[in-house]
Amino acid sequence: MTPAMDVMDIRRAIAAAHLLTRIYLSVRTVKSIAALNVMNVNIINNINSLNLNKNKMSIVAKKSGGEFKRVNPGTYAARCYSMLEIGTITQEYLGEPKRRHEVMLTWELPTELEVFHEDKGAEPYVVSKTYTLSMHEKATLRRDLESWRGKGFTEKEAEAFDITVLMGKPCMLSIIHKPGKVDPSKTYVEIASISSLPKGLICDEQINPTRLLSFDNWDAEIYEGLSDYLKEKIASSEEYKTMNSGFTDAIETPAKSEIDPLPF
């Protein structure tokens, strides 16, 4: 092989090397551009996803507040501080409509304090019981009052007993927990019995302000402060409808009785 041919071969080899280098660099550039395009698509998709989540309206269900606080079962010294005349309402009982005049009594347990609202501090537990406003010999109200007094009513006394004399009076309450009739998973506080204070036992002074609502001495402020349930129930009564119609003759208030106040 001549020297001239060697030089030509070398030049061709160098040229071929340069060509291969350019091809290699071109391929890498194409791959890089493709990779950048894929990256850009991913970035755009992520941005779109963030915008969708930002603009998406959500309704999130959260656990409600703590469980309703109930006083433990037991026997407590209590004081009657609230009396609400519900009025005469008609409700279904055993499949038939039943008309009855109701009143709700509420007692506080001054020795049993709990923080129900942070802004109010410690308050006494309260328990309520709704009665048919009747002094019939079989009526629950009469039975509880006789147990409270420790003394039965004569028929004359029972003819017209003013229950407002109960306000502020102490007693002993036996409290139990009972499952709901409609939903047994729910627990309700119930007054099992009422009796007079044992000799020597003194009930602490009343903490809650006295609350008395009756149709013959209506207090709109007390009414507006009640729960929606109680306001709706009272508003459904015959007395409330009569009172708001402008006719009051239909509302009858029993005369005050004069009986031996033991303890009221």
The residue ranking higher by pLDDT, 54 or 214, is 214
DSSP-H helix ranges across 151-213? 155-159
Q: What is the mean pLDDT of residues 172-187?
A: 90
Tell me the torsion sign for CA atoms 176, 177, 183, 184.
Answer: negative
63-77, 93-107, 159-173, 225-239: lowest mean pLDDT where? Answer: 63-77
Q: Is 3 a residue whose pLDDT tops 90? A: no
- Domain match, 25 and 150 both: no
Q: Is 45 a residue whose pLDDT tops 90? A: no
- Find the domain containing 28 and state its range: 1-45
How many angstroms separate the CA atoms of 226 and 232, rounded? 10
Identify the pLDDT of residue 218. 95
- Domain match, 6 and 81 both: no
> What residues have CB less than 8 Å from 81, skipping those under 6 apart?
106, 107, 108, 126, 167, 168, 206, 208, 209, 210, 211
CA 144 to chain centre: 29
Residue 258 domain flag: no
- Domain match, 195 and 236 both: yes
Residue 188 domain flag: yes
- Domain match, 116 and 185 both: yes
pLDDT per residue over 118-137, tens digit each?
888 999 999 999 999 999 99
- Domain match, 40 and 83 both: no
- Domain match, 15 and 135 both: no
Residue 80 domain flag: yes
Number of domains in the chain: 2
- Domain match, 39 and 84 both: no
**Residue 46, helix vs strand vs coil:** helix
Q: What is the mean pLDDT of residues 50-71?
A: 55
Both tokens assigned to 11: 């030049």
Q: List the one residue out of 173, 197, 189 whose CA is nearest residue 71.
A: 189
- Domain match, 6 and 129 both: no
Identify the pLDDT of residue 183. 87
Kindly give the pairing relationship between strand 211-213 and strand 74-93. Answer: parallel
Q: Is 64 a residue whose pLDDT tops 50? A: no
Band (92; pLDDT cuts 50, 70, 90): confident
User: CA 224, 171, 167: angle at the middle one, nearest 5?
Assistant: 35
Residue 58 domain flag: no
Band (43; pLDDT cuts 50, 70, 90): very low
- Domain match, 101 and 216 both: yes
Which amino acid would we find at residue 12?
R
Both tokens assigned to 63: 């656990």
Identify the pLDDT of residue 263. 58
Residue 62 domain flag: no
Identify the pLDDT of residue 94. 80
The residue ranking higher by pLDDT, 92 or 172, is 172
Residue 61 domain flag: no
- Domain match, 80 and 149 both: yes
- Domain match, 41 and 80 both: no
The residue ranking higher by pLDDT, 19 or 229, is 229
Residue 53 domain flag: no
Identify the pLDDT of residue 29. 52
Q: Is 140 a residue whose pLDDT tops 60? A: yes
Residue 256 domain flag: no
Identify the pLDDT of residue 39. 53
- Domain match, 34 and 152 both: no
Inter-residue contact 181 to 54 (CB < 8 Å): no
DSSP-H helix ranges across the chain? 3-55, 140-149, 155-159, 220-224, 228-235, 238-245
